[in-house]
Amino acid sequence: MIQSRTHNCGELRLSDAGSRVTVVGWFENLRRVSKNLGFLILRDFYGTTQIVIETEEMMACLDGVNKESTLSVSGTVRERSSKNAELPTGEIEVVPEQIEVLGKCVYNALPFEIAQSREADENTRLKYRYLDLRNPAVRDKIVLRSRIVSELRRRMEELGFLEITTPILTCSSPEGARDYLVPARNHPGKFYALPQAPQQFKQILMTAGFDRYFQIAPCFRDEDARADRSPGEFYQLDMEMAFATQEDVFSVIEEVLPPVFEKYGVYRTASKAPFVRIPYLEAMDRYGSDKPDLRIDLELTDATDALADCGFAPFAGQTVKAVVVDGFAASRKVIDGICAEVEVQTANKAYWFRVDENGGIVGGIAKFLQERREEVIAALGLKPGDFVGLAAGKRLTAQKTAGVLRRLLGAASETHMKKDCYEFCWIVDFPMYEIGEESGELEFCHNPFSMPQGGMEALRTQEPLSILAYQYDLVCNGVELSSGAVRNHDPEIMIRAFSLVGLGEEDVKAKFPAMYNAFCYGAPPHAGIAPGVDRMVMLISGEESIREIIPFPMNKNAMDVMMGAPASVEQRQLDEVHIGIVMPEE
């Protein structure tokens, strides 16, 4: 059978009245008025069309046909007597001469109503994702994603970047997350790894003489899900530039991203170049976060000198950070809710007090501050009506806890957060090294392939924790979109940098043989970045969960419940790749 259509279901207009047409789509609904009168809604990718059934013969064609079956309807277009101004096709209807079932839906009941699929349980939605995607509200997010990716690609090409795809099967690389391993059938005991990022390949491309590279790159990391991170795989706008500095990368991103956000975003304004640059240590001190939401105009104040010895036990001997909010007249219930959410997100408590209209300190921990009221008010620059949120602990703990408190207070206030724009910023000057929380030893703070500020001289003469790197993060509305860096392209500097974390020259050559050897043949200085496509689309579309903008996402447990992955395989398949399964003891 050859099936065709003359128009889609969102296309017909009053000017088509009198035309004979064929439309195809899904049987969305049928309202039967009588045995020879009914109104059928036919839906396809493009919209809906009303079909008016006026004969028993045509009505009989739908007997026993379940909703969501696919139909072909041929008939004549006419003007509707009762128009629907909310629909593009609301001025017309089709009177059918032939109705044909193209694909049967064999189930009388659906797992959820298509138009209300977003209200269903998430695992049910993912199991029946093909039904979920029929919901125009869900489908439109995937269409938006396609258009954004196309726009990004076009803009990068206009700036002279060449799209180059890099391998999916590669070697395991220590890049911070767990690899997905693929056994090599022809090489018993050895494994490929899916790339966590095209990091080494794009740097090798620079060494090979390609000046400007990009790709919409798939990346694979075996890590847990979050609202802004999908487990398993994700995509990024990966780019690299030869003979480039940090500012060169910034100028490209500042030219490419804001117009895309403004064109497709739920907000129509975005930061203009140059974006605000904030050193990492300053960001932590002012905002309590290395991904500050600059739509919020609140900043952290150091209250240690005024409050650490006030007699309140949680402050004793600790760093105390304050967030002062003027005119914040929230109820005790709202304040308690904010403090509870801070504890959920940080595992640390938040505290508070107010300054009343008479200049007195009231509420929260006020009883511990009465004897030094004037000192506290002067130290924090307080005035009547001010609300003060507080966090305490070791310096970094106090900063991070106060940072969450700042974000929640900003979102809850009516005057301290702009909610209709995209605010970008760069976080710069990250430390090159840090002490690992688990190991207690010196580790790379961010990207091990970054160039230390000061080069070899800094590595030889500075205390490692004081060395800064040419590393930078791109942040938008409190969401980290990307990390990037000026790369360490000098083999001698690379070996020295790795030696400080206990990896010698032979270790570097063994772990990164291709890149190290390529750099020995005259590598250009180069720099790059890789903004996350999924996170960008999530922000642009105004969604809070990244799974809403991915066609076939995994659930929070990294399972594809639609396809049944991960799944067991047959023993012969394991034998072919020389794999034995040892199950953990229960």
417: DSSP letter: B
pLDDT digits (tens, 9 = 90+) for 2-30: 458 999 999 999 999 999 999 999 999 99
The whole-number average pLDDT for the span 504-513 is: 90
Question: Which of 3-7, 328-332, 572-576 shows the lowest per-residue confidence on average (mean pLDDT)?
Answer: 3-7
CATH topology of domain 14-103: OB fold (Dihydrolipoamide Acetyltransferase, E2P) (2.40.50)
552: left (phi over 0), alpha (psi -120 to 50) or beta: beta
**Are the beta carbons of 466 and 429 closer than 8 angstroms?**
no
> Across the beta sheet with 232-242, what order do the strands follow?
162-163, 212-221, 232-242, 526-529, 479-486, 471-476, 424-428, 276-279
Domain ranges of the chain: 14-103, 122-266+524-586, 296-412
Residues 467, 543: Cα–Cα separation, whole Å: 38
Residues 35, 53: Cα–Cα separation, whole Å: 10
Buried b (16+ CB within 10 A) or exposed e, 372-392: beeebbebbebeeebbbbbbb
Q: Is the pLDDT of residue 234 over 60?
A: yes
Query: Which segments of 319-441 are extended strands (E)?
Result: 319-326, 351-355, 361-362, 386-393, 424-428, 433-435
pLDDT score at 1: 36
Residues 257, 151: Cα–Cα separation, whole Å: 10
Matching CATH topology for 14-103 and 296-412?
no
The whole-number average pLDDT for the span 317-329 is: 94
CATH topology of domain 296-412: Gyrase A; domain 2 (3.30.1360)
Domain 122-266+524-586 CATH assignment equals 3.40.50.300: no
- Tokens encoding 82: 């009762």
Neighbours of 297 (CB within 10 A): 11
pLDDT digits (tens, 9 = 90+) for 385-420: 999 999 999 999 999 999 999 999 999 998 999 989
Q: What are phi and psi of 117, to 5 degrees?
A: -60, -30
Taking alpha carbons only, the member of 461, 431, 448 closest to residue 501 is: 448
